[in-house]
Amino acid sequence: MIIVLKAGATDREIRTVEEKIKSHGLSAHISRGTERTIIGAIGDERHVDAEAFEGLEYVEKVLRILKPYKLVSRDFRKEDTVITVRGKKIGGGTVALFAGPCSVENRGMMVGIGGLVAAAGASFLRGGAFKPRTSPYAFQGLGEEGLRYLAEAREATGLPVATELMDPRDIDLVAKYADVIQIGARNMQNFRLLTEVGKLGKPVILKRGLSATIVEWLMSAEYIASEGNQQIILCERGIRTYEQATRNTFDVSAIPVVKGLSHLPVIADPSHAAGKVGLVEPLAAAAIAAGTDGIMVEVHNQPEAALSDGPQSLRPEAFQAMVSRLTRIAAAVGKTLGDA
């Protein structure tokens, strides 16, 4: 940590900072420059709060040298984490393929779509039973009933299922049915929920918050890891910007950036990023080319009648056609896509 003092800081002020650094168990290193005095705090700065120094009136700024996360960092673990769920891998040489409807709407559609996407090469099924919705008047999901249909689709297809958890009070219920638990973008900083899934020990998909920095996203992963669960799958799903042509701006750079900073697998959700069916394939292709470990796609047999996210859902036949084209992109980067 580097503490830059304001011009004209006195010897006494310099000494105060020095002592404060030592009180945290670090050593201080003072450089008097021509215009500013800067003080380095040497040692493990992760448990030292920059605010302790920023609160001093004669401090101009505090610069961190080390990353604020540890367990999820590439420094902590050099090799890529590969997660295996019921024999399906996330990470390594495959691009995992999560597919299914936005919401589980009824038994027939869930089992039906499950079968179709499995046939087209999906390696995981997805479907929401608890739905976070902007409006209190919108469909909120079927709850446990939806979880049961999801489990039936797993029985029918053999594919592991991923579904969202919104409330710490539902954790046992969701864990009973789900193979992979998803934390949605709006809950990325619901720290109590993170702590609970950290204790659970099941694989977790952690979606990036709507306006979360990559560092904040990794800090949320650190919450889960610090409870002992390292089976974390990061999911880029678009960030909020000024641009209105797409629902969100898909931050494709996040994929290589995160893979540089962390050992965790990163998947991409082009459906939510784009909000429009016509953009799902180019964004999925871009994500694969940029190195993603998986993609998550919304598929619906009748998108215009979907209870949520219809405009971004692919029909099963369009999904199948897309998978066969994406398989070529995956091959061009030396990977295989799903079970295709």
Q: Which is nearer to its own copies, 179 or 309 (CB)?
A: 309
- Find the binding residues for its own copies in span 251-270 (CB under 8 A): 251-257, 260
Judged by CB under 8 A, the residue of 222, 236, 298, 339 near its own copies is: 222
| Alpha carbon distances (Å) from 77 to 45, 70, 71, 72, 255 | 19, 9, 8, 8, 18
* Among the listed residues 125, 306, 314, 323, the single contact to its own copies using CB under 8 A: 306
Return the residue of 19, 22, 75, 84 that touches its own copies, per CB under 8 A. 75
Q: Measured from the CB atom, is 160 or 316 closer to its own copies? A: 316
Collapsed DSSP state (helix, strand, coil) of residue 295: strand
Residue 259: other Cβ atoms inside 10 A: 19
Find the part of the chain contacting its own copies (CB under 8 A) among 44-52, 85-93, 119-127, 199-207: 44-52
Shortest CB 12 distance to its own copies, Å: 14
- The yes or no reply on residue 119 touching its own copies (CB under 8 A) is no
Distance CA 5, CA 220 (A): 31
Backbone φ and ψ for 77, nearest 5 degrees, come out as -140, 115
Binding of its own copies by 321 (CB under 8 A): no
Check binding of 310 to its own copies (CB under 8 A): yes
158, 198 Cβ separation under 8 angstroms: no
Distance CA 33, CA 37 (A): 5
Q: Is 136 in the site for its own copies (CB under 8 A)?
A: yes
Strands in 37-42's sheet, in edge-to-edge order, are 27-32, 37-42, 2-5, 59-63
Minimum distance of its own copies from residue 155's CB (angstroms) = 29
* 32: β partners: 37
Helix axes 107-120, 144-157, angle to 10 degrees: 40
* Residue 93 sits in the site that holds its own copies (CB under 8 A): no
User: Applying CB under 8 A, which of residues 211, 228, 317, 324 lies at the interface with its own copies?
Assistant: 211
Amino acid at the residue 241: T
* CA–CA distances in Å: residue 312 to residues 16, 133, 240, 302: 58, 16, 17, 12
DSSP letter for 138, please: S
For residue 19, how many C-alpha atoms fall within 13 Å in the half-sphere facing its CB? 6
Closer to its own copies by CB, 205 or 277: give it: 277
Residue 245's Cβ-count burial label (10 Å; 0-12, 13-18, 19+) is exposed
Q: Which stretch binds its own copies (CB under 8 A): 87-95, 120-128, 153-161, 208-216?
A: 208-216
- Near its own copies by CB under 8 A: residue from 132, 143, 144, 173: 132
Does 115 help bind its own copies (rule: CB under 8 A)? no
Of 166-185, binders to its own copies (CB under 8 A) are 166-169
Closest contact distance (angstroms) between CB of 184 and its own copies is: 9
- Out of 10, 15, 19, 65, the only residue in the binding site for its own copies (CB under 8 A) is 65
Q: Please report how close the Cβ of residue 263 comes to its own copies at its closest, in angstroms.
A: 15
Closest separation in Å from C-beta 160 to its own copies? 26
Q: Minimum distance from CB of 16 to its own copies (Å)?
A: 9
Of 19, 54, 145, 317, the one binding its own copies by CB under 8 A? 54
